[in-house]
Homo-oligomer: A and B are copies of this chain.
Amino acid sequence: MTTLIWYGDEAVSHWAVDDRGIAYGDGLFETLRVEAGRGILLAGHLQRLQQGCLQLGIPFLASWPQRIADALASGKTGILRVQVTRGRGGRGYQSPSVITPGFALSWHERPQYPAQYTQWGIRVADAPFALASQPALAGIKHSNRLEQVLLRDALATQPQCQELVVCNQAGEVVEGVFSNLFMIRAGVLLTPPVTQCGVAGVLREALLADAPLPVEVATLTPSDLLAADEVFFANSVMGIWPVATYRERAWPVGEYTRQCQAHIAPWFAPE
């Protein structure tokens, strides 16, 4: 793995020992699928990163999109991980008066998911705990991810399952551990709001803006999922995974899910 790190516009070889990313998870990240040098849904990733910086009060540097473009110019295929931090800080929560943000790019192998997940669907179970509601942090891809770490480790104890249905503390469905959740009811594509908790996934946003069927953000419960015509999980690395089984329910892969998969396929293609 190669990692390039900058503080402001200064290239460095390591994170500073007093980086606030380590101390407080005081940062943001993006995980960009790259096909032969093309960043899949790159504009959406940059937009979310910029929104996250705005929300956390971290300067979004004009040089960052260019650094990403430079990395893509290598023509590689894989995953480009982008990490932003608030930079160095003293002890204590307060942001430094002058913030010189940290920025890192690292290349990773694309995860090799079995093709059957996309073709025939996955098995999903219920998460062992609910997400905390925090409107001040909801939607953005910040680096406070202990909930997801604990949930991902819980998923790993159920090797027959590929994702978890994660709810909020009101018992409403929010998302998966590492992807967003969608369901189809009467020809309408529905996905839960991410204004209280959850991540506004880049593929989720793209589908909300451009889907092959009517699409709505809606409050949904596990009962709604069980009564749905079709259910799928989606993110900008793996695409769309239909849900084959959840609790007592089993679904064949439905026609609307297939339409959505076909619809996004050009988005995921190399140029």
Contacts and interface: CB of A to CB of B under 8 A. Distances in A.
A86 B91 CA distance: 20
Contacts of A149: 20, 24, 26, 56, 86, 93-95
**Top 9 closest pairs, chain A to chain B, by CB:** A25-B25, A132-B132, A93-B152, A144-B144, A24-B145, A132-B134, A14-B14, A3-B17, A21-B22
A178 B146 contact: no
A24 B85 CA distance: 11
Contacts of A153: 57, 93-95
A24 B133 contact: no
Interface in A82-133: 83, 85-86, 90-95, 104, 106, 108, 111, 129, 131-133
Contacts of A186: none
Interface of A: 1, 3, 5, 14-15, 17-27, 29, 31, 56-57, 79, 81, 83, 85-86, 90-95, 104, 106, 108, 111, 129, 131-137, 142-153, 155-156, 169, 177-178, 197
Count of chain copies: 2
A132 B169 CA distance: 10
Nearest to A1: B18
